[in-house]
Amino acid sequence: MKTIIKLLVIISFFQVYSQGKEQDPYGGQIYSPSQITGNRFLDKEDEFTGTTYLFSEWENDGKFYINGKSYKVNNININALKNDLESKIGKDSILVYDKYKIDSVVVNKRKFKKYNDNSFYEVIFEGDSKSLLKKYKVDVVKGTYNVAQGKYDKTKLKLSDTYYIKEGENISSFNLSKKSIIKLCEGNETSIKKYIKTNKLSIKKDEDIAKILKYNTSL
C-alpha cells in the first residue's frame, strides 16, 4: 500500500500528463507515466568535483515523446554519465525515466533524440538527408592518494561533447570546424561563406550552426 501511495505522489508531484497526439514517425503501445519511471538516490556531491548533469539547475521545462504522445515534466535533467533522463525528488532522491520507452525529449527548447544505440543525442540540425548531432559524456578521473593530507583526493567529473553526422541509419563522428561545416554545404560554398560573414555567425555557437545549415537547405 505504501508503495502505491508513494508512486501516486511521485506522479502527482511531477504533473506528468498526456497532451494528445502529435506528428511523430513512431507507432505502437502508449505507456502510462507509472510504466516509465524508477527511483535511485542522488549522488553525494561531497564525494567528487564536477557534475554528471548536462543542465546546472533542475527547474527545467521538459517534454518527452512516446509513440506519438507528449508528456510534460516540470523538472528534468540529463545524466550524461548514465545517459538517463531524470527528475529530482526532494533533497536526495531521483526519479529515473525508462529511456528504452522514450523516443525523444525537449529540455528548455533543446531537442534530444534517441537513435539505434539507445543513446540520446542533441539535435543541432535535422535535415532530410543529413543531420548534425551532439552527444555528451562524462569522463571520470579517480582521485589519487594525497600523502600530505593522508587521504584520497576527490574524484573529478568532466563533461565533454562530440559532434556526429547522421546519414540514413549511419551515425559517424564529425570534426567540427568552419571548413567542415562549409563542406557539408556542397555546391553552395560561396553563398554560405558570404552568409556567415554578413550575419557574423560563429561555428562555436550551436544556434549559429543550425542557422547556416538551415539556410543551406533554402538555396
Q: 37-61 b/e with 16+ CB inside 10 Å = b?
A: beeeeebeeeebebbbbbbeeeebe
Confidence of residue 171 (pLDDT cuts 50, 70, 90): very high
Tell me how crowded residue 181 is: count the other CB atoms within 10 A of its CB.
Answer: 21
The pLDDT score that the predictor gives to residue 46 is: 58
pLDDT 10s digits, 96-133: 888 888 999 999 999 999 987 788 999 999 999 899 99
**Phi, psi dihedrals of residue 60, rounded to the nearest 5°:** -115, 140
DSSP 3-state of 134: strand
Tell me the per-residue pLDDT of 186-206, one tens digit each, with 9 for 90 and over. Answer: 999 999 999 999 999 999 999
Cell readout for 89 is 525528488
pLDDT of residue 44: 53
Q: How confident is the model at residue 179 (pLDDT cuts 50, 70, 90)?
A: very high
Mean pLDDT, rounded, for 20-33: 35
Kindly report which listed range (15-29, 78-92, 129-143) carries the lowest average pLDDT score. Answer: 15-29
pLDDT value at position 110?
A: 96
pTM for this prediction: 0.77
The average pLDDT across 85-105 equals 86
Q: Where are the domains of the chain?
A: 2-126, 175-219
Q: Kind and range of the H or E element at 60?
A: none
